[in-house]
Chains A and B, each alone.
Chain A
Amino acid sequence: MKVIAAMSGGVDSAVAAARAVEAGHEVIGVHLALSSNPQKYRSGARGCCTIEDSHDARRAADVIGIPFYIWDMAEEFHDEVVENFMSEYAAGRTPNPCLRCNEKIKFAAVLDRARALGFDAVVTGHYAQMRETELGRTMHRAEDPGKDQSYVLAVLNKEQLDGAIFPLGDTYKEEVRKEAKRRGLYVANKPDSHDICFVPSGNNAGWLHDRLGSETGPIVDENGEKLGEHQGAYTYTIGQRRGLNLTVPAEGGAPRYVLKIEPKSNTVVVGSHEALAVSEIEGERAIWCGPRPESATSYRGFAQVRAHGSPLPCTYSTDGQAISVVLDEPLYGLATGQGLVIYDGDRVVGSATINATA
């Protein structure tokens, strides 16, 4: 096949590209420039938007022996990911920009462009496995549970997954580093990136504060009684306990947690730990990574609501557009806007964006 290897400048995508070459594909390395001004979003040397990273990616492509280009995706990234990140926070939800980037950029804008130019697929260094099963081509968790990235890929539909190759899904990260070293890839020891790539400091609250402004507002309890002042509602997350600076102590001194963020009234609602309990989750904008489950049927499976969260045993059903989940055991603290991903064992069934909890 003729494939585009998306190379971030990190060790995973470099080894993935090398493996694609070894598998006999005709490979071209592409680094996605997600900011037309690399200093616009971040100034450090971590993540995916720096001069150093594009050089590292180019050097890796040279070592592997493949052509290398930089594709300017800054406009798409800003419009689809950064703007969405800000507007979701402004609406009181907690988005996951990595899911959004996979759905709208890496396996949409990039894949579309690759296909138009005559390529068949996009290769990335994500940790997930594609398998041929009796259900067709399906996506599964990676071998390395510590690195599994199937959660952030669950926003890809079948057509997108048909154009995706993940060569690292069967390998542990430690092995990937060793392999990089064996292959003479200088990025072998480059640290993993963790933060949101366009937030330089890793300080989301500060980043949002600078862009959305900070209007102070009330922090209230569930009865509406004012307990303190906040510094901008979107800088809080559901379940947050520290940094509330409440002036009215709770009865019995029990700790209080952020329960709800109401952007319209610019209010943060706090309450007891018990009030954070969630047993039912509703998700909208369902995307199926394989066959679509039957409507009006209940299935047993697992729900995952965070990139590194645990799989929670549950019963789920769908009408095709929305997914409803009833958890076996309650979960404490869940923000709307997060991704809800459904698993059948280690197979990814699909995903939705959380819009209601109870």
Chain B
Amino acid sequence: MSKPAIDALNLQISRLGNASSLHTQGRSVRKEVEEARESIASVAGCGPSEIIFTGSGTEANNLAIKGFYWKQQRSHPERNIIIISAFEHHAVMDPVEWLEAHEGAHVIQIPVTSQGVIDLEALAEIVEVNRAKIAVIAVMHSNNEVGTVQPIAEVVRIAAGIPVHTDAVQSFGKIDFNFDSLGVTSATISAHKVGGPLGVAALILQRGIDITPILHGGGQERDIRSGTLNAPAIVSFAAAAKDAEINRGARYSSIRELRTYLIEALQAKISDIRVNGDVEPALPGIANITFPGTESDGLLLLLDAEGIACSTGSACSAGVPQASHVLLAMGISERDARSSLRFSLGVSNTRSEIDHLASVIGSVVERSRAAQARH
């Protein structure tokens, strides 16, 4: 967490109060929450009333997807098509699959190019053929595994009135993201990705748009999301967002530079590596790399033992490693997807850490290749 976010949380957590209460203490908490809402809105480029606080990015994505789908179904039962990119985060992919399995939704995936960007021509064709039957389109603002930024403004233009939701959890605070200028109907942002606390996020929903709620109760957030507001976390979220925005340009350049240093250092040691989704614009710190002939679980284990943290695709509920659906969607073979690692660099990373990685990667890759050969 960033220092301003920690300070804000520490201060607020000692002033417990319910922002919905009418007494003096409640009003004071309410004031802090509304100021936080305004400052997050100014960073996100939206109106304060467009921010609906939630408990997580997953909740915000579920609220948007299900909320739009159910709302549309009510007035236009024929609108049962949901369009998503083929490499959405599970927080979008899974609610969509759930609607398909339980609520009669029909899902169409937008193909992704080998560069890690959605195919706009394919989207235009899908929309043209199905226009009257589409409930919502969801495309992530930037991909969390390969870092590529998606052409959301183009998606909105093609949608021409159909609701467009974007999961901007990875982008908010790190790269240019402006709700109003993108023209999307809704977007998800989350505190912990900008140096804020866990357990608070927001759905940004255009003023005047109504969606069906998931949680029913006190109606605290525009009657669309119920539940007592997590006031200390919200105030801390705002502090983190402000801090991220102030430092965004400088951080972007230094992290991007570090990423180039990382890729060059790895290329010098392992000549046949491939960088997946290596295009601009992109998130500054994500380097997704295929080490041919290895297995990523083995690489991860050996690097972890060297004090180097990295990630593989994802795991099922039992923790069994799976080939990344993102890389598979980009047309990368299952075998290469299972030989890929994701390094996520942030402001706290240093060149000497990368030098350490470069000094061990040769033997790590060699051992992993030996293990793979016996597998």
Once bound together, how far apart are the Cα atoms of A67 and B301, in whole Å? 9
Stretch at the interface among A110-118, A165-173, A268-276, A278-286: A110-118
Q: Across the interface, do A116 and B370 meet the contact criterion of CB distance under 8 Å?
A: yes
Q: Across the interface, do A113 and B374 meet the contact criterion of CB distance under 8 Å?
A: yes
Consensus secondary structure, chain B interface: helix
Q: Across the interface, do A67 and B320 meet the contact criterion of CB distance under 8 Å?
A: no
> Distance in Å from the Cβ of B360 to the closest Cβ of chain A?
12
Interface size class of A (residues with CB under 8 A): 20 to 34
Once bound together, how far apart are the Cα atoms of A58 and B320, in whole Å? 12
Q: Across the interface, do B302 and A117 meet the contact criterion of CB distance under 8 Å?
A: yes
Q: Across the interface, do A33 and B318 meet the contact criterion of CB distance under 8 Å?
A: yes
A54 interface neighbour in B297, B318, B373, Cβ under 8 Å: B318
Does chain A have a CB within 8 A of B319?
Answer: yes
Does chain B have a CB within 8 A of A216?
Answer: no
A67-B305, A112-B374 given; A117·B319 CB < 8 A: no
Does chain B have a CB within 8 A of A36?
Answer: yes
B374 interface neighbour in A31, A58, A72, A116, Cβ under 8 Å: A116
A58-B319, A116-B367, A118-B367 given; A72·B297 CB < 8 A: yes
Consensus secondary structure, chain A interface: mixed
A116 interface neighbour in B315, B317, B321, B371, Cβ under 8 Å: B371
A69-B301, A112-B374 given; A117·B368 CB < 8 A: yes
Does chain A have a CB within 8 A of B23?
Answer: no
A36-B320, A113-B374, A113-B375 given; A67·B367 CB < 8 A: no
Q: Across the interface, do B370 and A51 meet the contact criterion of CB distance under 8 Å?
A: no
Does chain B have a CB within 8 A of A318?
Answer: no
Chain B positions 311 through 337: 1 when the CB is less than 8 Å from some CB of chain A, otherwise 0? 000011111110000000000000000
Does chain A have a CB within 8 A of B292?
Answer: no
Once bound together, how far apart are the Cα atoms of A73 and B304, in whole Å? 21
Does chain B have a CB within 8 A of A28?
Answer: yes
Q: Across the interface, do B297 and A50 meet the contact criterion of CB distance under 8 Å?
A: no
Q: A54 — which chain B residues lie within 8 A by C-beta?
A: 318-320
> Distance in Å from the Cβ of A214 to the closest Cβ of chain B?
32
Does chain A have a CB within 8 A of B151?
Answer: no
Once bound together, how far apart are the Cα atoms of A109 and B374, in whole Å? 8
Chain A positions 12 through 45: 1 when the CB is less than 8 Å from some CB of chain B, otherwise 0? 0000000000000000100101001010000000
B318 interface neighbour in A50, A109, A116, Cβ under 8 Å: A50
Q: B368 — which chain A residues lie within 8 A by C-beta?
A: 117
Once bound together, how far apart are the Cα atoms of A109 and B372, in whole Å? 11
A26, closest chain B residue (CB)? B305
Once bound together, how far apart are the Cα atoms of A70 and B314, in whole Å? 12
Q: B321 — which chain A residues lie within 8 A by C-beta?
A: 70, 72
Does chain B have a CB within 8 A of A307?
Answer: no
Does chain A have a CB within 8 A of B298?
Answer: yes
A49, closest chain B residue (CB)? B318
Once bound together, how far apart are the Cα atoms of A76 and B300, in whole Å? 21
- A: residues with CB less than 8 A from B are 28, 31, 33, 36, 38, 50-51, 54-55, 58, 67, 69-72, 74, 109, 112-113, 116-118
For this complex, 11 residue pairs linking A to B, each with C-beta atoms less than 8 Å apart, are A31-B319, A54-B318, A54-B319, A54-B320, A69-B297, A71-B297, A72-B320, A72-B321, A116-B367, A117-B302, A117-B367
Q: Which 7 A-B pairs have the closest CB atoms?
A: A116-B371, A116-B370, A33-B320, A70-B319, A51-B318, A54-B318, A112-B374
With A69-B300, A117-B370 already in contact, 16 other A-B pairs whose C-beta atoms are closer than 8 Å: A31-B319, A38-B317, A38-B320, A51-B318, A54-B319, A58-B319, A67-B301, A69-B297, A70-B315, A70-B318, A74-B320, A109-B375, A113-B298, A113-B371, A116-B367, A117-B367
